[in-house]
């Protein structure tokens, strides 16, 4: 009886696994669409917190957004911006880099990391990011203008 029950359980399990393989599904993989949706929702809530100057709340929500979807370049950009606004430029730059690894055309990460480059006298890197922004979004793009304004307002004596 015990062997028959074990055989039945193994047969059912094999059928389920076979069906999942045939339909290209897995039991344990998260629903990518739901993860993306959750990540974007958390990102939007974080942006609202950032706009309300609740930096700790914003960072917490951005961290949740990147946890929900580790491929969300925009969420990594905003996570970097949150850390930048609290003065942790090392972490900010790290997260901008992750965003750009995911999406080299992520305009917020290009602009914000370029501003960090300028503050750290890495003019060549900032210049390349400005050129990239021009290619990606044009001269009237707010992210291009933001980085260009910082570059134009640098004091040459510094």
86 and 118 co-located in one domain: no
How far, CA to CA in Å, does 16 sit from each of 2, 6, 9, 29, 139? 21, 15, 11, 15, 55
User: Distance between CA atoms of 41 and 3, rounded to whole angstroms?
Assistant: 50
Last residue of a domain, one of 103, 121, 143: 103
Torsions phi, psi for 57 (to 5 deg) = -65, -40
87 and 140 co-located in one domain: no
**Residue 48's pLDDT is what?**
98
56 and 112 co-located in one domain: no
8 Å CB contact between 42 and 61: yes
Match 């040459």 to its residue by tokens: 156
Q: Within a domain: residue 39?
A: yes
62 and 124 co-located in one domain: no
Q: What is the mean pLDDT of residues 5-24?
A: 41
Query: Containing domain of residue 147, as a range?
Result: 104-158
72 and 118 co-located in one domain: no
77 and 94 co-located in one domain: yes
pLDDT tens readout for residues 50-97: 999 999 999 999 999 999 999 999 999 999 999 999 999 999 999 999
User: Please, is 113 exposed, middle or buried when counting C-beta atoms within 10 Å of its C-beta (0-12, 13-18, 19+)?
Assistant: buried
122 and 75 co-located in one domain: no
Q: What's 91's domain CATH number?
A: 1.25.40.10
Domain count, the chain: 2
**Residue 3's pLDDT is what?**
54
Match 């370029």 to its residue by tokens: 114
pLDDT tens readout for residues 119-145: 999 999 999 999 999 999 999 999 999
């Amino acid at each position: 009886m015990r062997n028959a029950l074990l055989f039945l359980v193994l047969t059912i399990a094999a059928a389920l696994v076979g069906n999942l393989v045939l339909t290209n599904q897995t039991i344990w993989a998260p629903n990518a669409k739901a993860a993306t949706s959750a990540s974007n929702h958390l990102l939007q809530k974080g942006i609202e917190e950032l706009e309300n100057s609740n930096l700790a709340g914003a960072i917490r929500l951005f961290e949740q957004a990147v946890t929900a979807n580790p491929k969300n370049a925009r969420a990594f950009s905003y996570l970097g911006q949150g850390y930048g606004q609290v003065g942790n430029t090392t972490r900010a730059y790290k997260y901008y880099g992750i965003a750009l690894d995911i999406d080299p055309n992520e305009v917020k990460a290009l602009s914000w990391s370029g501003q960090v480059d300028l503050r750290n006298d890495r003019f060549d890197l900032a210049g390349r990011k400005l050129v990239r922004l021009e290619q990606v979004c044009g001269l009237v793009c707010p992210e291009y203008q933001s980085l260009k304004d910082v570059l134009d307002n640098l004091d040459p004596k510094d």
